[in-house]
Amino acid sequence: MNKHHQWLAQQLPEWVDDKLLSPEQAEKLRDRHPATDSSGIGRLLVTGAGAIMIGLGVILLFAYNWAEMSKLMKLAAIFSALSAAHLTGLLKRDQQVLSEGFFAVGTMLMGSAIFLVGQIYHLDSHYPNAFLLWSVGALALAWALPSLTQAFMTIILIVCWHLMEVLDFQLTNYSAFLLILIAIFPLVWRLNSPLLARFASAALFLTLGLSIGIVNDEMIAITLLLIASGMIFLAEIIKQQSDLPQKGIADEITKPAALLLVIMMISFTFDDLLRELFLFKLNEPMDSATLWGTLAFSQLSFCWLASKRKLNLFVILTELSIILTVFPSLLLQLELLSLPTWKALITLSSISFNLILLATSIWMMFEGAKEGDRQRMLRGCFLFTILAISRYTDLFDSLIARASVFLIVGIALFAIGNLYQRNKQGGQP
Amino acid sequence: MKRHYFVLLAIAFQVVAVASIALSKEWILVNGKEVIFQTAPIDPRDIFRGDYVRLDYPFSHIDTDQLSADILTSGLRKGQKVYLSLKVNPQGIAQGKQLSTTPPSQMPYLTGQVKNHWPYRDYMEQHSRSKPTSISSENPVQIKYGLEQYYVEQGAGLEMEKTRGRRNGFQVPMLIHAAVSEQGEALIRSFEWANIAMKTEIIKSPERNAPDDLASATVRFTLLNRGTTAISLPWKENGCSFSLIPTTKRGDDLPFQRPECLNLLTKTKTLEANEQAFVDFDLNHTQWRVEHKGEKTAMGKLPWNYRFRIIHNRAEITTINAKIVSRAFHGRGRVD
């Protein structure tokens, strides 16, 4: 429950008492603004964090490797603790937070048990596998309960596993990306948690970005752009299904994707960088499969949205990004474009990105100021400033020109601030 | 009620998945064939599992002459599964014989994983845009067997490193007792320290740009009885009980001819507790010249990857529980 819902929940009884609203109207208002996310998520997360700390404590306790303690005693201690934690969780099912806490401790103890077995038998095998096994254990419980805490733990463990595979062993490990996509996203859907949706979405980009970066860093920009666009379009499709209870998570899935897209669009305003990011070579079959698969998915989703006339500004910006970057590069790959023509097209794309972002930022600033939408206005101002700073570095070579940039940006922000203030005051009685 | 079953199943999975690993390892420890490996520990720490010593075996780095024909033609990928056949000496200490990509017909053997592409340069040129490094087919293949870590109680790792000794002083070999399964999976059962310590030192280094007959170093190899009882070993004058062997066999000109050792009687050298004995090898002697690019070349003028060790000629010495072998060194006087 966020602060607005809390405020509404406090105010409604007072308004009814003051005869401003009838009880029926108050009920309608409650229905109109239901509390999103599962209630007590804060308590759940705090309990989960506590459980993780307990588990880490146990891991480090066993890491001391007590020489006086026999192998059998160590194993008996850890397996008893693991089973006891889970069984207590089962017995306390009527107290959700407490039960989740015990299950989380149990899953942490599973990790302790894995490391303890490794220590006892001096195992020196491929150590990221320990995290994979641990994450599968957490995932099984996340589905069986179903549990938000276990779901968060699973994502963290998958990301840890992936980081080790990629950074320590230079392995692509696409399995982490697939595991999140196939096993975590359906869980996000089932639990209908916006926070988990955002977290899973960010983990998805991280795992994929690292996988591609390790084997073929030339493919990073195009793949991330296509995955981000696919998710933005998919979220938009979900939002259009008015009867789906999961509508709330759609926006959250989009947030990391949208942030990534904006960062990429800003970087695309640099001509040299854009050329470097999109001059790639398809080395591995997995690269081609990812590229064509994500492109087909994003374009089919866009066509569906276009056919339903559900195109908003962000969807259009996403599609424009694909048209300006992915299509010329694919034409070059298929040898339908020569390299000089491609370079010329990419320069045009870079200019287009500048104009698109400039227009978008101005529109967001003015619309936000006019409508009294502070968030939109601030986002517009931020985008406008970033764009000005980006061009400041490569367009202007005299002090007068540099001064003009600051003056223009300053005046624009000042004017927008005033417009916002006036509209805000004008709206007040 | 149905959900309860799923929860119980998930909990059972968590317990059984880990317990099955422990059981499978216990099975190997109980039923595996006992093999001893000679090694030297180094002390790092694992954030999740505490103190451990890292163990480096002679067969962790396999030279070209120990590779099977298919490896020499196809190379090896990082992470590829390989098999090392073992030769066990009369003391029970196992040494690597040949590395192959198929399991050897005879037990015991070890299963390992290749740590880096080999030959690295060729692989990188074919598969990556990264700059090739200087690692070529002349370099040994790096293999991991899962025997490279030994976990100890906190603080004990440093103690073990102290016992092992310093790089430029006496070093005590560590003997790892391992259980090897029929599939080549090895697990450490226990360890013991050798009753002898060894020191490899350069007592005379050559001058820079010295002529061929002065281009090589003089190496001293010292043995120390670190036990409490006397040990005796076969001993000939002029260091003739010892041989100089290359770390990688490259030509047919080895072993070195040593006319001064002919007709020498083998005596017995007794080392009381804490007593030392040493042999010196002046590598400038013409007998130590090595065939390189069609010429007999002084050891000090050989490329850096030509390295040698001093070993005792007798494979089994009943009073000593380890193999007597020096650290690898280059003829110019650099000890590994």
pLDDT at A1 over 90: no
Spell out the residues 6+ positions from residue A301 whose beta carbon is closer than 8 angstroms to its own.
Answer: A230, A233, A234, A236, A237
- pLDDT tier, A429 (very low <50, low <70, confident <90, very high otherwise): very low
Instruction: Determine the Cα angle at B225 with ends B220 and B229, to 5°.
Output: 160
pLDDT digits (tens, 9 = 90+) for A60-79: 777 777 777 888 888 998 89
Output the DSSP codes for B41-105.
EE--EETTTEEEEEEE-GGGEE-GGGB-HHHHHH-B-TT-EEEEEEEE-TTSBEEEEEEESS--S
Residue B65: partners with Cβ closer than 8 Å, 6 or more residues away: B248, B249, B250
For residue A321, give the nearest of A264, A275, A282, A363 by alpha carbon. Answer: A264
What phi and psi values does residue A30 have, to the nearest 5 degrees? -60, -40
Q: Cα separation of A106 and A83, whole Å?
A: 7
* Bond preceding residue B90 cis, omega within 30 of 0: no
Q: Which of B119, B145, B144, B142 is nearest to B62 (CA)?
A: B142
The tokens describing A126, both together, are 């491929």
How many other β-carbons are positioned within 10 Å of the β-carbon of residue A310? 13
- 18-77 in chain B: CB under 8 A from chain A: 18-19, 21-22, 25-26, 29, 46-52
- The model's confidence at residue A310, banded by pLDDT at 50, 70 and 90, is confident
pLDDT at position B136 is: 52
Instruction: Tell me the C-alpha to C-alpha distance, in Å, between residue A15 and each of A9, A20, A22, A27, B42.
Output: 11, 5, 8, 12, 74
Q: For the CA atoms of chain B, what is the radius of gyration?
A: 23
Q: What is the pLDDT of residue A351?
A: 92
pLDDT (tens digit per residue) in A147-197: 988 999 999 999 999 999 988 887 888 899 999 999 999 999 888 888 899
Among residues of chain A, what percentage have pLDDT more than 90? 29
Sheet holding B334-335, edge to edge: B242-246, B307-312, B329-330, B334-335
Would you state the structure tokens that stand for residue B289, as one six-digit string? Answer: 């010249």
**Exposed/middle/buried for residue A380 (C-beta within 10 Å: 0-12, 13-18, 19+):** buried
* Range A130-152 average pLDDT: 94
Contact B260/A at CB under 8 A? no
Cβ of A133 within 8 Å of Cβ of B29? The answer is: no
* Type of residue found at A347: T
Answer yes or no: are the C-beta atoms of A350 and A385 closer than 8 Å. Answer: no
Tokens standing for residue B155: 């603080």
Give the ipTM of the model, two decimals please.
0.77
Q: How far apart are CA B66 and CA B84, in angstroms?
A: 9
From the CB of residue A360, how many other CB atoms can be counted at a distance below 10 Å? 21
Residues of B in contact with A100 (CB under 8 A): none
Give Cβ neighbours of residue A161 (< 8 Å, ≥ 6 apart).
A128, A131, A132, A135, A173, A176
B62: CB partners within 8 A, 6+ apart:
B84, B96, B99, B140, B141, B143
B13 touches chain A (CB under 8 A): yes
Neighboring chain B residues of A126 at a CB cutoff of 8 Å: 113
Please state the separation of Cα A373 from the chain's center in Å.
24
- pLDDT, tens digit (0-9, with 9 covering 90-100), for A350-366: 999 999 999 999 999 88
Residue A119 has pLDDT above 90, yes or no: no
Please determine, for residue A393, whether its predicted confidence score (pLDDT) is greater than 80. Answer: no
Spell out which residues of chain B touch residue A283, defining contact as CB-CB under 8 Å.
127
Of the candidates B32, B70, B69, the one whose C-alpha atom is nearest the C-alpha of residue B146 is B32
pLDDT tens per residue across span B78-116:
888 999 999 888 778 898 899 999 999 888 899 998 887
Which H/E stretch holds residue A202? helix A194-215
Give pLDDT tens digits for A260-293: 899 999 999 998 889 888 888 776 777 788 788 8
User: Phi and psi (nearest 5°) for A328?
Assistant: -60, -40
B1, B6, B18: best to mutate for the A interface, most A CBs within 10 A: B18
Task: List the single residue in B25, B78, B127 with the smallest CB-CB distance to A121.
Answer: B25
For residues A392-405, average pLDDT = 71
**Residues from chain A contacting residue B51 (CB–CB below 8 Å):** 65
pLDDT of residue B17: 94
Interchain contact B14–A (C-beta under 8 A): yes
Q: Which amino acid is at B189?
A: R
Burial classification of residue B120, based on how many CB atoms lie within 10 Å of its CB (0-12 exposed, 13-18 middle, 19 or more buried): buried
CA dihedral B132, B133, B136, B141 (to 10 degrees): -110
Amino acid at A44: L
Residue with more model confidence, A428 or A196:
A196
In a mutagenesis test of the A interface, which of B3, B4, B9, B11 is the best target, namely the one with the most A β-carbons within 10 Å? B11
- Cα separation, A302 vs A236, in Å, equals 9
CA distance A143 to chain B (A): 9
Q: Could you tell me which residues come within 8 angstroms of residue B70 by beta carbon, excluding any fewer than 6 positions away?
A: B100, B101, B102
Do the Cβ atoms of A106 and B14 come within 8 Å? yes
Shortest distance between the Cα of A331 and any Cα of chain B, in A, equals: 23
How does pLDDT run across A238-256, given as a tens digit for each residue? Answer: 888 767 777 778 878 888 8
Question: Would you call A136 and B113 a contact, using CB atoms and an 8 Å cutoff?
Answer: no
As to burial, measured by CB atoms within 10 angstroms (0-12 exposed, 13-18 middle, 19+ buried), residue B171 is buried
Cα–Cα distance, A280 to A342 (Å, whole number)? 12
Residues above pLDDT 70, as percent of chain A: 93
Alpha-carbon span A132 to A297, nearest angstrom: 29
CA B273 vs. chain centroid, Å, equals: 27
pLDDT value of position B253: 54
Residue A39 scores a pLDDT above 70: no
Q: Which residues of chain B have pLDDT under 70?
A: 1-2, 42-50, 120-138, 249-255
Q: Which residues contact B331 (CB under 8 A, 6 or more apart)?
A: B215, B216, B217, B283, B288, B298, B299, B300, B301, B302, B306, B308
Query: Where would I find the H helices in chain B?
Result: 2-31, 69-74, 120-127, 156-164
How many residues are there in chain B? 336
Half-sphere exposure in the Cβ direction for B300 (13 Å, CA):
24
